[in-house]
Structure 1
Amino acid sequence: MAASLANEIGKFAFNLVENGHVVTCTGGIRIEKIRSGSSVRKRGQCDRFTLRIPYGGTKLNWEVLFNGHEPHLPPDIIFDDADADFEPKLEEMLSLQCWNPEDHGSLMAVIKELLEQYKKHQLELLKESSPIIQHEFESVHELSTCTIIEVFVLRNSKGIVQQINFLMKLPIDLDRLPPYLINKNLGEDSISLFVVYQGCDGNNVSPQVYLSPRVEHAFSDVSLLNYPKWKDSGESLVSYIMAVHEFFNAKIDEITTSFERRRKYVAAFLSSFGTCVLEYDVERYSTLSFLVEFDYFYCIWTIEIGLEFPEEQPLFIMKSVYHCFDDKPYEAIDDNYPYSPRWGADEMARRARTYLATAIPRFKAASIKNKPYQPPGL
């Protein structure tokens, strides 16, 4: 990208892309359509380009025009045709008044100031919508759980409001989650809520939830996230935001509680069967294996613990070290043992020990005869 621009100009563009996280809710700025203002284009002499800025659920296209013959001068910036009435107050833009060609961050400072004014411009356009939507914005703006909000008003060629976008960032604290879910995935913890109002009356509302990569990874073990649905019968945006926020906090509680129960479960079985342990999962606490013996008969006993534990009963898997079936070690799965999610981990381990005293002889007999294993009580 910067290699095609003149060196004196490319440094501004490179700094903007690498460090210019000036857009608050989604993505970063992209640079496209690098070109020259001269009729003769030479490599490394381009002096203008297009900024693609994600904002409020749309993309702004701002043209940045430097002068290749006088690269020390600040650039001109041309906005989208749809924003023809956006007229920044140049007297309030210190970054332009104090333009420093030696500072690589000068262009980034200009774009930041322009975006701040653009946000105010969109808020002025919001006043052309219904009082309902204006009230929604004011109410959301006061929420402590909604730290950042972007507003974009889409108008037709006649200047009539057709659609209003609210893009909000809801912070979420993942520190309580198990380390394996968050330690290897850096980034921000945020939920973006994109709400579209069709027309200016605010009656047709469509919300969507987006997760930052770190948050999405943190919930990757959850098979399905059923976000709260928007209630068409006059639900307020504030109540919906609170519902989404509470939903994810509840999910964090659920994941954390399950992880802690699995950890205690594994600890209890290690304490009870520790002399014959083979291996166990030290990150998720999802499996553990033992080499168990009864009357000189040995077998490998593996416990698989699901993410829905303790509501979901763990599986006992017994595998013979002597016998094969279909060219594989003979094994049997047992979920018929006594179990209750209300029991503590120590009681689960104690009852498992009692159960194995009956189950292993049955498994031994089945493996020797190469017949299906029948759990005790069946």
Structure 2
Amino acid sequence: MEEASFSTDNILSNFPSCLRKNIEELCLRSKIGLSSITLNDITIPKISCAAQYGILDNFHFILKVPYAGKKMKWEVIFDPEDFFFTPDFLFNDDEFLENPQYDYLMDNVPSLNNWDLKNPQALAKVLNEFLGLYKKLQVEKLRTENIYSRYWEEYEALTTKESGIGPEQIEVQVGNNIDFLVSLPVDCSALPPYAQPVIFRNSPHNEGYNPGFDFAHLKITILELDGARTNASLQLSPRLMQVLGPSKNINLPSFQNMALVTYVDSVSKMIETRIAAVVDHYVKKKVYIVNMAAMCSKSIIEYDAENFNKAVFLYDDDDDEYNCLVTVSIGAKFPQEKPTVQLSSIYCQDSKFCNETIDKYPYKPSHKPEVNIEHLLEYLGDVVKKFKCHKHK
């Protein structure tokens, strides 16, 4: 079966209009289990008899459904003559719902019986109920099969009240390996806002950068049941990745010979410590830039009101009737490292646009921001006079 993949710009247009609200809700506003499905996780097969003409099988599509750090292929098939009729679902796991009883299915997937395509959340609800049932069967397999008994005990220990992690925050998949995906209980509420990249203003290209909800997921794979071989990795939301860096660059502690609950706790504390450092840095930047904007209120040109990395104000020397722009930029090591200060002017004696960075102004990390700003403003008086009279070699 040939599949056609599409960019996020045009994939919705490839679905019948009656399905688009459900697809949009599923991909842009819904969680499926612990994770989410993106528009790039959907493929539409081509009709085999007309593949050479690029004709799409629009009533049939394939979803990459995230679970336990992997992606499963589930197929959704609508009746092409009546899209409002309940769709069929095919799963890529032969052990999952091979011959389900009607009552069993209705008890565990009630939204299937109450299918209403006019409800934009209909597809997301059904998928979450199917995924909940899949998870239930995986957990039961972990509990009942003797070869997994050690990890069932560790799973139980991890889901106690003391750990702060409930069963709903863990996904487990059992097979040749055991995969655990744990949603770490870290607080992201005080983090700086997501800095949205802009490709083209007012362009649909920006949709792909929607950060969605915050999460820090720890994936643990048991490669050998005696614990001799294990893997651990992090999955971070866009905002966490932006402030902490790529997850692959975060060195995790070794999982060898450590209880699951102990390991999860150690990684949680490590992430919390890093988040606290980012928040502290963000708050101190904000206090500094806001104070600068207030103290230079009559001459402020612009300042970064989201991430508080920069402020620009006009320094006016009343005595000489001369002014220049002052750009104050805050780096990653602030407040231990002083901000960068740059003077800019078009009033150069050689008719050039000139910049000069000053770094010898008085600054002490232990001083209050308003004191450091006051010292900077005082220092600028003499420096600006020299900048006005500078000459090019």
TM-score normalised by structure 2 residue count: 0.69
Other-structure match for 1:303: 328
Other-structure match for 1:346: 370
Q: Aligned pair in 2 of structure 1 residues 197, 324: CA closer, same or farther (>3 Å)?
A: farther
Aligned partner letter, 1:164: I
Other-structure match for 2:342: 317
TM-fit CA distance, 1:107: 7.6
Q: 2:34 aligns with which of 25, 30, 39?
A: 25
* 3-state DSSP of counterpart to 2:334: coil
TM-fit CA distance, 1:131: 4.0
Q: 2:106 aligns with which of 71, 94, 101?
A: 94
Matched, 1:140 2:158: yes
Q: Aligned pair in 2 of structure 1 residues 319, 3: CA closer, same or farther (>3 Å)?
A: closer
Contact 2:224 2:230 (8 Å CA) reproduced: no
Unpaired segments ≥5 residues, structure 1? 37-42, 155-161, 372-378
The count of corresponding residues between Structure 1 and Structure 2 is: 347
**Deviates most, 15-24 or 308-317:** 15-24
Q: Aligned pair in 2 of structure 1 residues 357, 168: CA closer, same or farther (>3 Å)?
A: same
Aligned partner letter, 1:53: V
Aligned partner letter, 1:345: P
Matched, 1:259 2:273: no
* 3-state DSSP of counterpart to 1:309: coil
Aligned residue runs from structure 1 range 199-278, under 5 A? 199-217=224-242, 219=243, 226-278=249-301
Aligned partner letter, 1:195: I
Contact 1:130 1:202 (8 Å CA) reproduced: no
Q: 1:153, 1:263 → 2: CA distance?
A: 47
Q: 1:275, 1:4 → 2: CA distance?
A: 54
Q: 2:78, 2:331 → 1: CA distance?
A: 60
Q: CA RMSD in A?
A: 4.4
Larger radius of gyration: 1
* 1:31-86, Cα deviation, whole Å (9 max, x unpaired): 654879xxxxxx99998766543322334345667888999997776544652796
Q: 1:132, 1:313 → 2: CA distance?
A: 53
Matched, 1:152 2:173: yes
Other-structure match for 2:189: 175
**Deviates most, 184-193 or 116-125:** 184-193
Q: 2:212, 2:184 → 1: CA distance?
A: 15
* 3-state DSSP of counterpart to 1:210: strand
Other-structure match for 1:164: 178
Aligned partner letter, 1:241: V
Other-structure match for 2:72: 60
* 3-state DSSP of counterpart to 2:283: helix
Q: Aligned pair in 2 of structure 1 residues 335, 94: CA closer, same or farther (>3 Å)?
A: same
Other-structure match for 1:290: 314
Contact 2:12 2:23 (8 Å CA) reproduced: no
**Deviates most, 22-31 or 342-351:** 22-31
Q: 2:387 aligns with which of 346, 354, 363?
A: 363
Other-structure match for 2:221: 196
Q: 2:378, 2:110 → 1: CA distance?
A: 82
Aligned partner letter, 1:133: Y
Q: 2:131, 2:42 → 1: CA distance?
A: 15
Other-structure match for 2:352: 328
Matched, 1:120 2:141: no
Aligned partner letter, 2:384: I
* 1:2-23, Cα deviation, whole Å (9 max, x unpaired): 9999x9xx97x77874556573
Aligned partner letter, 2:169: I
Q: 1:231, 1:342 → 2: CA distance?
A: 37
Q: Aligned pair in 2 of structure 1 residues 52, 32: CA closer, same or farther (>3 Å)?
A: farther
Aligned partner letter, 2:313: S
Q: 2:279, 2:13 → 1: CA distance?
A: 48
Aligned partner letter, 2:306: E
* 3-state DSSP of counterpart to 2:312: strand
Q: 1:46, 1:302 → 2: CA distance?
A: 54
Q: Aligned pair in 2 of structure 1 residues 279, 45: CA closer, same or farther (>3 Å)?
A: closer
Q: 1:68, 1:302 → 2: CA distance?
A: 61
* 1:178-209, Cα deviation, whole Å (9 max, x unpaired): 45659x95622222222211122232121121
Other-structure match for 2:6: none
TM-fit CA distance, 1:343: 1.0
Q: 2:378, 2:13 → 1: CA distance?
A: 72
Other-structure match for 1:375: none
Other-structure match for 1:376: none
TM-fit CA distance, 1:296: 0.9
* 3-state DSSP of counterpart to 1:261: helix
| Aligned residues with identical type, % of pairs | 26
TM-fit CA distance, 1:101: 8.1
